[in-house]
């Protein structure tokens, strides 16, 4: 079959967010030693962009209380981007003190979500980001942005495109040009993803776009396909499909990293990641949290494995 090069990318970048978004909502607090083991496994699989944690108040997200120690203890591998999520200037300062050079700032596109959680509108929240950006510039760091509830909000419902655009312009005004469109509670659908992604790429061509999907309603892989059709080639995933947001009702697990890799490889799209090692990482994570997770490949195995098993049966006859 001839490949339609105009429809699918040759390569996709996957950012592993399991150590942050995957573990932050787990009942069991994964130890520092276990996090280091997971981080080593993620790097060994060939993943080049990793969100290792967040610098938030430990009472708000207890699972992230040891992020400073994790960053200081981890072995930084050349060619791998390590970043943390930060809510404010104090978070940026902690990241710098720990030895990290990249941070991510996040704000909700939904006014209802922002007001409910922070008693501020999105653009009011972003006013505080000026000091963060100034610190980053002065200390030779990098900063990216995430726009949560880009596709829907548990309080507001559908989020108008204009609200998303307003947040994008706010980030651009700050000089931030790497932005993630995040489906915080898994409300997105493929048509919406394609239309919003296409619109954002056309309206803001200077932005490096990332998409972040939760699999709450089992549409994350379909949404990634729609995102690729819109021209997006960078997506977040979390090992074993772990995750959820403590501040967004109904935000269950992220799309499983290994499921995304498996789908892309079956489609002939390169990720630069060793799928077998990614599956090992997911199994390790599942063991650490102590319960079955949402990853499909962990349950069913790879399509390639099924083919090999069938061929072996034929040879044994």
Domain ranges of the chain: 13-316
> Which of helix, strand or coil describes residue 61?
coil
- The structure tokens listed for 174 are 């700050």
CATH fold for domain 13-316: TIM Barrel (3.20.20)
> Has 153 been annotated as catalytic?
no
pTM of the model: 0.93
**In this predicted model, what pLDDT tens digit does every residue of 188-206 receive, in sequence order?**
999 999 999 999 999 999 9
pLDDT of residue 307: 62
* Mean pLDDT value across the chain: 92
- Mean predicted confidence (pLDDT) in 264-292: 97
Q: How far apart are the first and last CA of the chain?
A: 31
Q: Is 220 left (phi over 0), alpha (psi -120 to 50) or beta?
A: alpha
Question: With bands split at pLDDT 50, 70 and 90, how would you rate the model's confidence at 93?
Answer: very high
Exposure letters 31-53 (e unless 16+ CB within 10 A, then b): eeebbbbbbebbbebbbbbbbbb
pLDDT of residue 155: 86
pLDDT of residue 127: 94
pLDDT of residue 154: 87
Question: With bands split at pLDDT 50, 70 and 90, how would you rate the model's confidence at 245?
Answer: low
CB contact at 8 A, 268 and 9: no
Catalytic residue among 15, 114, 245, 303: 245
CA distances from 134 to 137, 159, 206, 222, 255 (A): 5, 30, 21, 39, 34
């Amino acid at each position: 079959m001839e490949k339609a090069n105009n429809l699918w990318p040759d390569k996709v970048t996957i950012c592993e967010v399991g150590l942050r978004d995957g573990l932050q909502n787990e009942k069991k607090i994964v130890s520092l030693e276990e996090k280091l083991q997971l981080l080593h496994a993620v790097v060994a699989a060939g993943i080049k962009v990793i969100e290792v944690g967040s610098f938030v108040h430990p009472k708000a997200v207890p699972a992230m209380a040891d992020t400073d120690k994790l960053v200081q203890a981890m072995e930084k591998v050349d060619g791998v981007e390590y970043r943390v999520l930060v809510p404010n200037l104090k978070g940026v300062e902690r990241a710098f003190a720990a030895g990290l050079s990249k941070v991510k700032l996040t704000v909700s596109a939904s006014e209802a979500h922002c007001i409910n959680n922070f008693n501020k509108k999105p653009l009011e929240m972003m006013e505080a980001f000026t000091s963060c950006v100034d610190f980053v510039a002065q200390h030779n760091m990098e900063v990216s942005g995430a726009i949560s509830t880009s596709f829907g909000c548990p309080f507001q419902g559908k989020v108008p495109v204009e609200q998303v655009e307003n947040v994008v312009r706010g980030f651009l005004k700050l000089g931030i040009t790497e932005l993630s469109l995040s489906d915080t509670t898994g409300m997105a659908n493929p048509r919406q993803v394609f239309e919003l992604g296409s619109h954002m790429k056309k309206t803001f061509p200077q932005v490096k776009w990332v998409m972040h999907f939760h699999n709450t309603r089992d549409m994350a892989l379909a949404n990634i396909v729609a995102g690729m059709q819109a021209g997006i080639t960078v997506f977040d995933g979390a090992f074993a499909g772990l995750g959820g947001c403590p501040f967004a009702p109904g935000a269950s697990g992220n799309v499983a990293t290994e499921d995304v890799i498996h789908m892309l490889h079956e489609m002939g799209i390169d990720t630069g990641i060793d799928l077998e090692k990614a599956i090992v990482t997911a199994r390790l994570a599942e063991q650490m949290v102590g319960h079955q997770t949402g990853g499909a490949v962990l349950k069913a195995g790879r399509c390639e494995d099924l083919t090999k098993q069938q061929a072996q049966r034929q040879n044994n006859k």
